[in-house]
């Protein structure tokens, strides 16, 4: 991933230095396990631990192991070990180390993403409560429907973040496994106790059954869930983009100082950060296809998955980390315009109360088809002639015989539509 979208902490997770360090950690954990069960002399373990630090001191050579070149890594280690080198990596295969390292990196990445999501959730809860009763028009099919509140919209986003946190924790549990079972997963040349012991040291669970590799449905699940989270951010950003349209103007993304919306039109206030969120989410969704393709491997192992994983797994984590940081920044600076929300409500000429009128007629015993026809004909006239809907109802030939002037007036009350907002917030624990 290009540096523009790589934040320091997440970049460090996928750096060659961290990969190198985790290779050392896995090899040392395996050595400790072998020493514990008597398969390695204690002095050999001491030499491996000591010389692991010496090997890491040659970190200027780390570029040589870019792409996870394990053979170079083992040669570098062996150069430092002397006689103890014969105990290094005994019975293990490359995937034992590399798949376990990848699991540790994914675990580190997930922890960072969970922190970002929790930060965003706290912010959205704050905004939801601030605008809990701030009326705005609810839109279905892009058209005015009935009143809602901006706080309720934010509450909905909070619950979507909650689902993302749950999914991400589930994905963490799925990828939180190591594998030290040998060439085809049979433990033919490595004692099963080595895997159990080493995984415990590394904070992983042993994968119960493997081939030479960990099965890639695990990785595909993580990538898919990260893409779902990215798509949620895309949905949020798209809503902001729509509400920022000039003819709506209910919210506005605030750009950082010095950043211009348009080079040619100084008046423009474009939601360019939200557009960036939407664009990057497309990349995440594209990576899902590759991750699903990687589930299919020939027999006990092939390398078809490896080249794509070296790109899509780090990039998905890096991109989503960046998207979460940027979207949190957007929401921290979001300008909300309640007055414009109210103006947009009033543009409906009262038509948004049509369902209340319909229900009132039904409660008086009017048949549904008849009541619907009465309300609809007045609604059509109101829209076509830009006339006040309530006034037309009062002039109608049928409706005033069923509903009094006072009863009709009571139906045009915005507060009616938000009387259960407290119930929703309490039920959602926001």
CA dihedral 280, 284, 285, 290 (to 10 degrees): 140
Instruction: Write the CA distances from 318 to 11, 162, 205, 297, 313, integer angstroms.
Output: 7, 21, 25, 26, 9
- CB hemisphere CA count around 258 (13 angstroms): 0
Contacts of 211 (CB under 8 A, 6+ apart): 184, 185, 297, 299, 300, 301
DSSP 174-232: HH-EE----TTSS-SSS-HHHHHHHHHHHT-EEPSS-SSS--THHHHHHHHHHHHHHHH
Q: Residues for the chain: how many in total? A: 430
Q: Quickly count: other Cβ atoms within 10 Å of residue 301's Cβ.
A: 19
Question: E strands, 310-354, where?
Answer: 335-336
d(CA 68, CA 74): 11
Q: Considering 54, 71, 89, 141, which one is annotated as catalytic?
A: 141
305 labelled catalytic: no
d(CA 171, CA 152): 29
Q: Considering 50, 54, 262, 404, which one is annotated as catalytic?
A: 262
Q: Which of 296, 279, 290, 281 lies closest to 312 in space, CA to CA?
A: 290
The values of phi and psi at residue 148, to 5°, are -140, -165
141 labelled catalytic: yes
Q: Which of 130, 116, 124 lies closest to 159 in space, CA to CA?
A: 124
Could you give the residue numbers annotated as active site? 141, 262
């Amino acid at each position: 991933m290009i540096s523009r979208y790589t934040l320091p902490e997440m970049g460090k997770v996928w750096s060659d230095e961290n990969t190198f360090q985790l290779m050392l950690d896995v090899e040392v954990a395996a050595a400790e396990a072998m020493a514990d069960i008597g398969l390695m002399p204690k002095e050999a373990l001491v030499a491996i631990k000591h010389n692991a630090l010496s090997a890491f001191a040659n970190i200027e050579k780390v570029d040589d192991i870019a792409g996870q070149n394990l053979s170079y890594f083992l040669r570098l280690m062996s150069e430092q070990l002397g006689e103890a080198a014969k105990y290094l990596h005994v019975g293990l295969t490359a995937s034992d180390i590399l798949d376990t390292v990848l699991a540790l990196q994914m675990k580190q990445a997930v922890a960072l993403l969970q922190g970002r999501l929790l930060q965003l959730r706290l912010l959205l809860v704050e905004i939801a409560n601030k605008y809990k009763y701030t009326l705005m028009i609810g839109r279905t099919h892009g058209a005015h429907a009935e009143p809602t509140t901006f706080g309720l919209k934010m509450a909905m986003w909070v619950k979507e973040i909650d689902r993302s946190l749950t999914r991400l924790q589930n994905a963490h549990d799925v990828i939180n496994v190591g594998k030290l079972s040998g060439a085809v997963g049979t433990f033919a040349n490595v004692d099963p106790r080595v895997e159990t012991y080493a995984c415990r040291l590394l904070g992983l669970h042993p994968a119960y059954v493997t081939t030479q590799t960990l099965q890639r449905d695990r990785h595909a699940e993580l990538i898919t869930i990260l893409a779902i989270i990215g798509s949620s951010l895309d949905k949020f950003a798209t809503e902001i983009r729509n509400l920022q349209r000039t003819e709506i103007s209910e919210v506005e993304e605030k750009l950082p100082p010095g950043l211009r919306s348009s080079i040619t039109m100084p008046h423009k206030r474009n939601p360019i950060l939200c557009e960036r969120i939407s664009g990057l989410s497309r990349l995440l969704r594209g990576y899902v296809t590759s991750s699903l393709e990687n589930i299919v491997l020939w027999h006990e192992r092939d390398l078809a998955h490896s080249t794509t994983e070296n790109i899509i797994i780090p990039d998905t984590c890096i991109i989503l980390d960046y998207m979460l940081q940027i979207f949190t920044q957007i929401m921290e600076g979001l300008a909300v315009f309640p007055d414009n929300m109210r103006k947009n409500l009033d543009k409906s000429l009262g038509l948004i109360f049509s369902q209340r009128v319909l229900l009132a007629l039904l409660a008086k015993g009017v048949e549904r088809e008849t009541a619907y026809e009465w309300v609809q004909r007045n609604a059509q006239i109101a829209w076509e002639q830009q006339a006040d809907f309530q006034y037309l109802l009062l002039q109608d030939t049928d409706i005033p015989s069923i509903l009094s002037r006072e009863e009709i007036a009571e139906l045009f009350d915005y507060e009616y539509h938000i009387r259960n907002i407290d119930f929703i917030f309490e039920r959602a624990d926001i």
